[in-house]
Structure 1
Amino acid sequence: MTTIAIIGAGPGLGAAVGRRFGREGHDIALVARDRAGLDVLVAGLSGQGVTARGFAADVRDPEALAAALDAANATLGPIEVLQYSPVPHRDFMRPVLETTHRDLHGPVEFSVYGPVAAVQQVLPGMRALGRGTILFVNGGTAVVPHPDRAGTSIAFAAESAYGHLLHDRLAAEGIHVAQLIIPGAIIPGHHRKDPDVLADALWTMHRERHGFRHFADDLDS
C-alpha cells in the first residue's frame, strides 16, 4: 500500500484522516511545524495499529516543505495521496480596507506557494505510480469572499484556481484533484463537520474520483 501525506496535520482533521486512510492500509506521513505535536499524533495513530511518521516543516518555507515530503517518500514509500489542509493564521483575516499588499504576503505564501511546492514535489511519484489524488481543504471564503477576512479570501481563491487547473490538466494521467469546502469551523459531534465525518468525505472523494469541488455543509450554515 502507498502513503498519504497530510500537510497541516493536527489533532482534529489530520488525526481523523490518518485514522481513516490508515484503516484502509495506507501509511501516514504527517507534516506540520510543531515537532512535539507531531510526536503525539504519531503515537496516537501507532497505538491504533497505523503506520505513521511525522515530518516537521513550515508550509511558508517551500524548500523545507519539499524536503519533508522527500523524506516522507524515502521513509514510508510512494505518496499516492496528498492532502493540503493547514489552518490559516488569524492575522491573515483583516478587513479588506485595512489590508495592504504587505498583509497579503503571508496568505499567499501559505495558500499558493505552499500547495504549489507540495504538488510539484509529489507529482513525479504519482506519475510513476500511474495514479494519485490531491486534496485541497479550504474554508467557505474560498467560494464566498468575506470583507473581514481579506487575506484568506484572496489567497483561497488563488489556491482554488490552481487546484481546478490541476484537476482539468491531470485527469487524463489518472491523478484526481479535488477540493473540500468546510464552511465555518470544524465541530466535533456535528453531523457534517465532525472530524471523522470529514475524514469519511475525503476518503470518498479519493475513492470515487468525481468532480472538483465538494461541500462539507451549506455555505450559509
Structure 2
Amino acid sequence: MTLGTTALVTGAARGLGRSIAEHLAGQGASVAVLGRTAESLEPVLAAIRATGARGIAVVADVTDLSAVTAAVADAEAALGPLDLVVNNAGLIDDSEVPFWETDPDRWWAVVETNLRGPANIDRAVIPGMLARGRGRIVNINSGFALRTDPNYSAYSTSKAALLRLSDAMAGPLAERGVYLFDVSPGAVATDMTAGMAMFEGKSDWYDKQRILAAVTAVAEGKVDTLAGRFLHAGKDDIVKLAAERADDIAERDARRLHLRPYGDDDPEG
C-alpha cells in the first residue's frame, strides 16, 4: 500500500511524533516534520528520506503563530498542499504536584503548548484545506482529557480544552470535506511517558503499532464518519467502529464531552 498523502507531523524530533513521521514515510507519504530546532530534526528527516519518501524539516515553536504560519508555508512550498496534519507536539507536568504547588510559568507553558499549539497549526492549515475541499487533522489527545489526575492539572486541562475545541470545529469542517479527530494512543512507552511518576515500573505499555495504524486509517479516509469523536487507539479498533457502529455512535452522541446529570430532574441533563 502506498499513501498518496502529504503530511505534517509536529513534535516530530523524538518519541511518538518521530514514530508517526517515519511510519507515514514508510507508507509512501511525503512528510514535513516540525520541531523547535533544525538539529533535533536531522535524524528523523534522514530516516524519512532513507525510505525513498520526500521530506522536509521545518522549525517553529508551535505557540508562535507567525512562526507556525511560515513553517506551514515552507512545508507546502516544498512538498505541495497538506492532506494530513498530526498535532503531536506536547508537554507534561514535570513537577507532578497539585495545581497550587506548581510553577505558574511551567503550568501555562504546558497548557499553551498542548492547546495553543494545535490551534495555531489549525489556523495555518485549515483555510487551505477548506479551499481544496479536503484534508484530515489528527490531534494526539489523552485519557487525561476525560479522567484527570491531581498531579497533572495542566496536562489534563489542556487536553480537555483541546477536545472541546475539536468538538466545536469538527461538524462544520466535515460538511466541507475536512475531517478532524482526537485520538489517544494510550500509555505508549516514550521518553516523556517513561519519566512520569504514575508509570514508574510499568511494563504493560500499549502497542505503538495501534496508534500508527490509526493514523494510517485516518489518512486513507476509512474513518471519516467518526470525525469529532474521541478515539482510543490503544483499545479501539477504529476501522471496525467506523464500519459497524458509526451511525449508532452519532445517534447517541457518543464519545463527546458531556455533563453527567445528577438525576432525571436535572435542568442541565
Shorter-chain TM-score: what band? 0.7 to 0.9
How many angstroms does 1:133 deviate by?
0.3
Partner of 1:203: 216
TM-score by length of 2: 0.73
- Structure number with the higher strand fraction is 1
Q: Deviations over 1:76-128 (max 9, x none)?
A: 11011111011314437542332476554212321222111110111121112
Which has the larger Rg? 2
Aligned residues: 218
Which of 45, 52, 57 is 2:55 aligned to? 52
Does the CA contact (< 8 Å) of 1:92 and 1:150 recur in 2? Answer: no
Alignment pair present for 1:147 and 2:164: no
Paired AA for residue 213 in structure 1: F
Q: 1:191 to 1:122 in 2, by over 3 A?
A: farther
Q: How well do the aligned residues superpose, as a CA RMSD in angstroms?
A: 2.5
Partner of 2:243: none
Q: Which secondary structure does the structure 2 equivalent of 1:91 belong to?
A: coil
Distance (whole Å) between structure 2 residues aligned to residue 40 and residue 102 of structure 1: 31
**Structure 2 unaligned residues grouped into runs of 5+:** 192-202, 236-269
Q: Deviations over 1:4-32 (max 9, x none)?
A: 10011134322332233224432100001
Distance (whole Å) between structure 2 residues aligned to residue 115 and residue 69 of structure 1: 13
How many angstroms does 1:186 deviate by?
3.1
Distance (whole Å) between structure 2 residues aligned to residue 89 and residue 77 of structure 1: 33
Partner of 2:199: none
Does the CA contact (< 8 Å) of 1:19 and 1:45 recur in 2? Answer: yes
TM-score by length of 1: 0.87
Alignment pair present for 1:214 and 2:227: no
Partner of 1:131: 134
Partner of 1:72: 75
Larger RCO (CA under 8 A, 6+ residues apart):
1
Alignment pair present for 1:161 and 2:176: no
How many angstroms does 1:64 deviate by?
1.3
Paired AA for residue 232 in structure 2: F
Q: Deviations over 1:134-171 (max 9, x none)?
A: 10002321121111101111111111111121212211
